[in-house]
């Protein structure tokens, strides 16, 4: 079974670090991090990601722009979960239109984990770590 690749995109280092440590402590996966949308697109050009956790509001290039551009630069199907502290009808419409999930900040880690696990199970790439 291939080890899944998870991309965490958020301009807040603390958020990226927390998500990386939480996920990598529970599932076997390669975690990639991007601090902005441009970095995320660069990673997507070179790494086949299975799941992307994507913040909406970021400097330079926001999460919606990343979603728009990633289809042009890479031919991969990335299951995406938007995370945002910005609750708006625009975000809800984008999620509905693209059939992706959205999680409000502050993120409840157990809920996010369930969403990531479900997406990886559909890809037959869910590898839980044994917790002694």
Q: What is the per-residue pLDDT for 91?
A: 84
pTM: 0.94
Task: Compute the mean pLDDT over every residue in the chain, rounded to the nearest whole number.
Answer: 92
* N-term to C-term CA, the chain: 23
* Residues near 29 by beta carbon (within 8 Å), at least 6 away in sequence: 3, 4, 5, 6, 23, 120, 127
Which tens digits make up the pLDDT trace of 46-103?
999 999 999 999 988 999 999 999 988 877 789 999 998 877 788 888 889 989 999 9
- Give the domains, in start order, of the chain with CATH numbers: 5-122 (3.40.50.2300)
Determine the average pLDDT of the residues in 103-108.
91
Question: How far is residue 74's CA from residue 66's CA, in Å, rounded to a whole number?
Answer: 12
**Exposure string for 65-90, b = 16+ CB within 10 A, e = fewer:** bbbebbeeebeeebbbbbbbeeeeee
Determine the average pLDDT of the residues in 119-130.
94
Cα dist from 36 to 39, 43, 85, 108, 118, whole Å:
6, 11, 16, 22, 26
């Amino acid at each position: 079974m291939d080890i899944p690749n998870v991309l965490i995109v958020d301009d807040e280092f603390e958020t990226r670090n927390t998500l990386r440590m939480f996920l990598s402590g529970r599932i076997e996966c390669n975690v990639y991090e991007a601090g902005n949308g441009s970095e995320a697109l660069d990673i997507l050009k070179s790494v086949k990601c299975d799941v992307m956790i994507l913040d909406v509001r970021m400097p330079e290039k926001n999460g919606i722009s990343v979603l728009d551009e990633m289809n042009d630069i890479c031919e991969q199907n990335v299951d995406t979960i938007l995370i945002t502290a910005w609750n708006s009808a625009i975000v809800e419409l984008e999620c509905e239109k693209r059939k992706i999930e959205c999680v409000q900040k502050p993120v409840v880690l157990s809920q996010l984990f369930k969403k990531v696990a479900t997406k990886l199970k559909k890809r037959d790439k869910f590898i839980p770590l044994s917790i002694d």
